[in-house]
Each structure stands twice: as structure tokens, then as C-alpha cells.
Structure 1
Amino acid sequence: MFYQEQQVTLDKRNHQLTNINVWTSDSQWLVFDVRPNSASFTGLTIEKVNIKTRQQKQIYGAKNGAYVGVVTVSSENPPRYAFIHGPENPDKNWHYDFHHRRGVIVNDMAPNIAENIEAMCITPPFLAGALRGGTHVHVFSSDNSRLSFTYNDHVMHECDPALDLRNIAIAIPYHVINVGIEGHKKHHREYNGHYYCVVISETTPVPTPGSNEISRAYEEGWIGRNGYERANGEKQRWAIAFIGDTCSLDGKIVAEIFIVDLPEAAEKYAIAGVNPIQGTETAMPAPPKGIKQRRLTYTHEHNYPGVVNQPRHWLRSSPDGSKIGFLMKDDKGIVQFWLVSPVSGVMQQISKSAWHIQSAFSWDSEGRYVAFICDNSVMLCEIPCGKLIRLTDRSDLPPLGDAVVISPDDSYVAYLRNIAGYQQIFIVATGIV
């Protein structure tokens, strides 16, 4: 069943969608940035477009040599927009980089006014609740109270770039972090933040082969709208799954899935474990007491082990939190859609396609389908039978794999195509009833 796809943006610019949370809650607006492409962070504005009228509105415009991009939107009304903000007044020593960027939020009622998500403190003594570097892909939790993101560390990068390992961090509504009185900070690049932020993953530069140690934590996702149910029937309200790079016994990097259960009470995030929450001059910030990552998948013995990195995708759970979706090759080497339980770690191959899945994916609101690109078409995959439903005709060039996002009301899928040299936003009806 093919539906008539609709081109939403028509102007001669590149339009970039993030992989999740790009729809406003009424399913009428899509948020985007205008980077030349997903690998070049030189966009100047955050914008939104109405899918019916094609009206475009600017949400935020960067100033003083800064760049912005990778926007997501909360499910509130009026909404808030979270995105990456590069440094203002960059110079040769401080310019946009993984460890030199911050997350900001703009309220729909006050466009062009950005509030920092995290604080940054890069001079000792470091400050618990502040981070020390750069954050990326800021995703609101289902209740919009907190955000998750990946994190790189300036202090460790200055110490030794090999020690600046990518990790997962979160922002929680505990209290505002004031690094110092304005104008009297120890470093002019430091700033205050509106959330209390902590790193929740643990990495090591050289994981022990065959162990659960990882050298990199990335592509995280909140589990469930309200967490997940443990084996004993109790509810785990807050949890995040992420991909971690392990080392196999033969020395190869194998990407596996990990989970972190998180406390409910905000004050528990301020209790240090063995190592300081704020980090030291020679060590990364550490997770608070009781926060410990747990490995879910063990795929080293598969013909094609590990979660795939191409296409790039993010772990996304079903709305009820009972299943975490990911992409991995089957025994024939075809990239398929899989599920894993956050409780048992039992994996289930869902799709059995003759073609590789070519993109990131998203769930519908009830966990009945996921949407992705396959065989150069936008497709729905029915859960759990794995039936593929082709929504767009097969094209010579596939839609771009960066984002394939179902609207909150399940009516449309938003995605990107290259048209006459520009990335344009498209939508297609899902037919979901």
C-alpha cells in the first residue's frame, strides 16, 4: 500500500531532522535545523514548519560566531526546544568540538532566549552537578522533566585526548547550578546551568577482552513512557539503555546494549559513590552512588556480532518499556530490526527482510509498529510478526537515514530526501488506525 508522500519544505536550503522528538504534540509542526549536512555543524537557526500550511517560523538564531543544531521538542503545550549550541566568539583555542558545546532550551513563548541545560566548570575545585565539556542530542523524557544526552569532557581532553571517552549523562530538575558570580568565574568559558547534571555510564580506554568493560557509551534512549516492569513485578520508573563498545576475546570492538536503572529522588544524584561525581583533574566525572550499568546483550558468538553502527541509530524502547529496539545483522549479514528485554536480556529478531534496514527508526504510540527505511522505501514493521508494510514507492535513491519519525498521533512519518541538491523534509501517511 503506497501513500502519496508530501514535500513539506520547499526553500533552497538543507533541512536537518533529529532522529526523535521532532514533532510538536499536536502533530502539526516539525522542528529542524539548517546545517549543510548532518556531519557539518555550521547551522545558524533553529526553525519549525507546519505540515499543512508550509509556514515556517524561526525559533532561535545564533549570534557572535556560534552555531546551533540537532533540535528536539518536548511534548508540552506550549513546547520547549532543546538543541546544541556552539561557543560564542570562538577562537583558535576554543571553538566548536565534541568537548566544546552545550545544550540549551528555548521556550516557545520566548523565542531567541536560550537557557543553558548544564553548567560547565573546568577549573578545580570542580562542582558536583556541573559538567566539564560538551553535550549532544538532548532528548526530553516522556514527562519532560529531564533530559538525556551524550557527553565529552574538556578536562580529560586537555589531559590526554585518548582519555576523553564518550559517555552518557542526564539532566534532572534538582537545583540550578551556579559556577560563579557572573564576571567572576575562574575561566571565561564557564557558565551556569538550569539543571543538575551527572554522568551515568562508566568507560575505560582499554577494556579487558571478554569483559563487560566498555570504551565508549553512546546512542542512548529512555526506557518506556513510565520505565519498565522488573521481574518481581515492581516498577523501575527511570532507566536508560545505551550502546557500549566492548572488546572481544580476539581484540575486536563489539557494540553491545547496556542499561542503567536510575533513582527517583533527585537528592540521590548528589550522593557520591567510590569516585567523585564532579570528576578530578585526571579522571572523568563518575556516576552517583548506586548507579551501575548492566550489560543486556552478549552477541560475540553470532556470525555478525554486535549492534551495527551503520546505519547509525539510537536505542528506542516500546512505549510500555518491555522491549528495546535495535539494529543488528542476521546470520546472512542482513541488517535487521531486533528487540531485547530490559529484564532478561533475551533477544528476538523481528524483521526477516531480504534487504538491509537503511536508517534510524521510531515507534508508534502504542508499540504496534516501527518505521524505518528499507529497500529505498519508507516502511512500517509490524510488531511482533515482522511484516513489512511499504509506505512509499521504491526510489532510485533512498530517503536519508538520519531520521524516520512517526508523529505523536501516528498519522504520519517524517523523513528527509535529497531533492535538486538540498535536503528537504517529507511526510507520508502511515495508514495506522
Structure 2
Amino acid sequence: MPEQQHTSGRYGHTLHATQVFSPDDSWVVYDTRNDDTHIGRTEGIEMVQIATGEVVRLYTTSQQTIHGPGVGAVAWNPGRDEIIFIHGLQNADAVKPYGITRRFGALLKPHGTRAIRHADARTVQGPFIPGALRGGTHAHTWSGDGAWISFTYNDAVFEQDLRTVGVMAPVQRVAVPVTDCENFSGEYFTVVVATVTEHPRPGSDDIEKAFDECWIGQDGYLDDNGQHHTRAIAFQGNVRREDGAVVTEVFVADLPADITQPADGLPLAGTPHMRPQVPRGIYQRRVTDTTQRKYPGLQGPRFRLRTSPDGAEIYFLMKDDAGLVQVYRVPTTGGHIIPLTYLACAVQGQHNISPDGRWISFLADNSVWVIDAAGGMPRRLTVRTDDARAPVGGALWSHRGDRLVYNRYDADGFLQIYSIPFF
């Protein structure tokens, strides 16, 4: 089927790695970056109507400079008219520019007043407050039911920052007594959910960095005992091999129903000498051990983990014995790693799972492809192009599973949005 171009403005139109369609599939949301690394200098959030190509500006930053505040990575709630995106702190300047510890999740209703609200509370002044963090949240993703939000996090207070992952739950609004550009209240109760350490033991499951997570299933998953885990996160974690080499593996964090309760002696908000700690009832486990492979660890272009809709399988990228990046899967409960692709070229971008769980989209050989999640021969959906016009990032499914959208640069060097029907 022929692809369709939906945007043409002489600026960037960057799709987030997930959740870009409105609940009715009529709109696609994006930010105005022309380069993935330029969130700090990006001023706009927009949406385009798939049927007509109508472009609507949803939000523009105030006093935008190359130093910030910056916006980007926008995700649409799967069940309602609300988006969340990265927003840099409003006081960004040359001395304190946009950065990994200086951003938050901004909420906005595309068909409402379009005033932004803070999803997460932030305070960098003690005493620290449970439910608020004191750094930067980013790469936000709604849970399958649209109620919770996951994110990756970098702390601004602790001297040795270690990236980790967290969640926001709509259990209570968190009020911060001193409010300014650095400290503000938020609509969600926010905590970290992955345990990281600056001194990982070689050969252990200790993690020194947790990142690029996803929610498991539309409604969690069943473990080997038949117990249903309603909310769980899969994430990538860096461990140390016996020889000290860093290897990236798949981890899972099962979440308790109540994330407001701290473990004994481990404050959720942290202290001046301790990072924020995970709530009581978090169960973290390692799913993969790839340390003995020829090319150990998850590898490839930057990607986020994906799971089947029932939560039974986790999908990721890794090199085969020929050194080519392929798509793999592993049971969420642990077990054998199974390759899904056997390409003669490397996978080039994010893989994504269709809403019914049957198909996996991915980029390779400068084209959009799909493959049956059960295995088989992959199908090339778009014509192969030269490098300058190759699809960028990943191909994302509509809620109905009948369309894939993706980015590619036009002849003038501007990142545009394209789509192709899928039947």
C-alpha cells in the first residue's frame, strides 16, 4: 500500500516512542524537534489530523532559548483526551540550562483549555516530601488503562546520580509548601520503583542504571503460579559481569497496589544523603542472563522494551552471533530467549507490538517491516530508500491496528510524519 505524508512544515515533527494516537485514532501528537537530542531548544507540541492533514499547535513554551525550557516526547492517554510530555524547568538559562535533572511531566488536554499542569511534584529543598521527587522525570508512558504513568528519572540532589525508573499513581495530589520554578506541587503521587546502586557486585543482579521501561501487558500478567500481577514494569538494567564489564539485561518490578508506604528506614523521598527509595512491596527480579553470549547484553539502536498485550512475553533487541541486531522475546516469568528475526541486516529502530499482539513492527534496511509475533517470514511494507530518507525511530500502531505512523526526513532535511495502512 502507498504511504501517506501528513506534515510538511519546515521544522521537525518528532514522534515519541509510544502512544502517539488519540483514543479514536483520528489525531497524532508530536513535538517540533528536528533532532532527537534537541528537546532543550524545542518550543512546540502539535497534533495532526490523519484524514485531513490539519495541524494544530497545542502548546508553545515561553521565553524559549537554546538553553530551555524545552519540550518533547509527548504521549496521548489511551483512554481520554489528555497528553503528557517532557517540560524543562521554566527558569532555564545559560547558567542552569535544560538537563536530565531539570524537567517534569506536563499534562495538557488537546481539546480543552490547553493549560499545562504538573503531573509530578518536585522539591529540591528539604525536608523532602513523600510522593514528590527532586530531579527530572522523562520519557513518560501511560499504563494500559491510562491511570498510571511510568518514567525514567535522574536525581538532582544526590551527588552521584544513577538513572532509574518510577511511576506516578493518581492516589492523591502532592502539595509542596514552597513553590517556584524549582519546586512545585503535582497531581500524582510519584515514586521510584527500581533499586539501583553505585557499587554493583560483579556477577550479581545489582543494577547501576535502570532505564527504557514499559508497562507489562494491558492489565499486567499471570505468573507461573497463576497469580495475576495487575501492575508491573519491565525495564533494562545495567549489571556488572564477573570481569567487571557492563551488560544490559531485562528486569521486572512487580508493584504493590499501594505505593505510598515506605519500607522500614527507607524514605520514599530520600534524604540529603540518600536517593529516593522504592515503596514497601516492590519485588524486583532479573529475567535474562545473556552474559555468556558471543555478544552479551541487550544491544542496538536506543529502544524501549515492549510486551505482549497479555503480558506473557517481553520483546527486546540484541545482537545475534553474526553481530546483527535482531528482535527477541523472553517469557515475562523467565525462561528461554527466542529470536524472532533472522535478518541479513541489522534492525535499525524501535520495535512495536500491534494492539492484538499478533504483529511486530520494526525498521530495517531503510524500510518499515512487520513480522508475525509467533515467527515466520517478515514483510517489507515500504520501499527501500537511501539513508537520508530512511524511516527514523520506529513505526507505531494505531489503536485499531490498521495503520502505522513513522518519521522520515524530507528532501529539505525536515523530519515529517508518514503513515501506511495495514490490513
Provide TM-score, normalisation by structure 1.
0.93
Q: Which residue of 2 aligns with 1:138?
A: 140
- CA offsets, 1:142-178, max 9 Å, x none? 111110000001101xxx2xx1111001000111011
Q: Which residue of 2 aligns with 1:170?
A: 167
In 2, Cα distance between equivalents of 1:93 and 1:202: 31
Q: Which residue of 2 aligns with 1:70?
A: 73
Candidates 194, 199, 208, aligned match of 1:206: 199
Tell me the CA shift for residue 121 of structure 1: 1.4
Quote the sequence identity (%): 35
In 2, Cα distance between equivalents of 1:218 and 1:47: 27
Q: Which residue of 1 aligns with 2:281?
A: 290
Q: Could you say what secondary structure the match of 1:338 adopts?
A: strand
Q: Could you say what secondary structure the match of 1:30 adopts?
A: strand
Tell me the CA shift for residue 344 of structure 1: 2.5
Candidates 279, 290, 296, aligned match of 1:299: 290
Give yes or no for contact 2:120–2:189 (8 Å, CA) kept in 1: yes
* 1:76 alignment partner AA: G
- CA offsets, 1:41-89, max 9 Å, x none? 1111111001110001111121133321110001124x10100111113
Give yes or no for contact 1:256–1:298 (8 Å, CA) kept in 2: yes
Tell me the CA shift for residue 138 of structure 1: 0.9
* 1:53 alignment partner AA: T
Structure 1 residues 123, 51: closer, same or farther in 2, change over 3 A? same
Moved more, 107-116 or 240-249: 107-116
Asked if 1:18 is matched to 2:8, the reply is no
Q: Could you say what secondary structure the match of 1:277 adopts?
A: coil
In 2, Cα distance between equivalents of 1:273 and 1:82: 33
In 1, Cα distance between equivalents of 2:98 and 2:415: 23
In 1, Cα distance between equivalents of 2:232 and 2:167: 11
- CA offsets, 1:408-429, max 9 Å, x none? 1111111111112111111012
* 1:301 alignment partner AA: Q
Q: Which residue of 2 aligns with 1:47?
A: 46
- Between the two proteins, the alignment pairs up a number of residues equal to 416
Q: Which residue of 2 aligns with 1:60?
A: 59
Q: Compute the RMSD of aligned alpha carbons.
A: 1.4
Give yes or no for contact 1:274–1:289 (8 Å, CA) kept in 2: no
Asked if 1:195 is matched to 2:151, the reply is no
Q: Which residue of 1 aligns with 2:27?
A: 29
Provide TM-score, normalisation by structure 2.
0.95
Asked if 1:241 is matched to 2:234, the reply is yes
Candidates 318, 333, 346, aligned match of 1:356: 346
Tell me the CA shift for residue 36 of structure 1: 2.9
* 1:425 alignment partner AA: I
In 1, Cα distance between equivalents of 2:322 and 2:34: 36
Tell me the CA shift for residue 188 of structure 1: 5.5
Give yes or no for contact 1:378–1:399 (8 Å, CA) kept in 2: no
- CA offsets, 1:209-252, max 9 Å, x none? 11111111000000000100111112111100000011111221
In 1, Cα distance between equivalents of 2:283 and 2:265: 12
* 2:384 alignment partner AA: R
* 1:63 alignment partner AA: S
Give yes or no for contact 1:200–1:260 (8 Å, CA) kept in 2: yes
Q: Which residue of 1 aligns with 2:4?
A: 6
In 2, Cα distance between equivalents of 1:206 and 1:401: 36
In 2, Cα distance between equivalents of 1:386 and 1:305: 25
Q: Where do 5+ consecutive residues of structure 2 fail to align?
A: none
Tell me the CA shift for residue 274 of structure 1: 4.1
Moved more, 363-372 or 396-405: 396-405
Q: Could you say what secondary structure the match of 1:155 adopts?
A: coil
Matches within 5 A, 1:88-103: 88-103=90-105
Moved more, 390-399 or 243-252: 390-399
Tell me the CA shift for residue 403 of structure 1: 2.9
Give yes or no for contact 1:129–1:270 (8 Å, CA) kept in 2: no
In 2, Cα distance between equivalents of 1:245 and 1:202: 12
Q: Could you say what secondary structure the match of 2:14 adopts?
A: coil
Q: Which residue of 1 aligns with 2:123?
A: 121
* 1:341 alignment partner AA: P
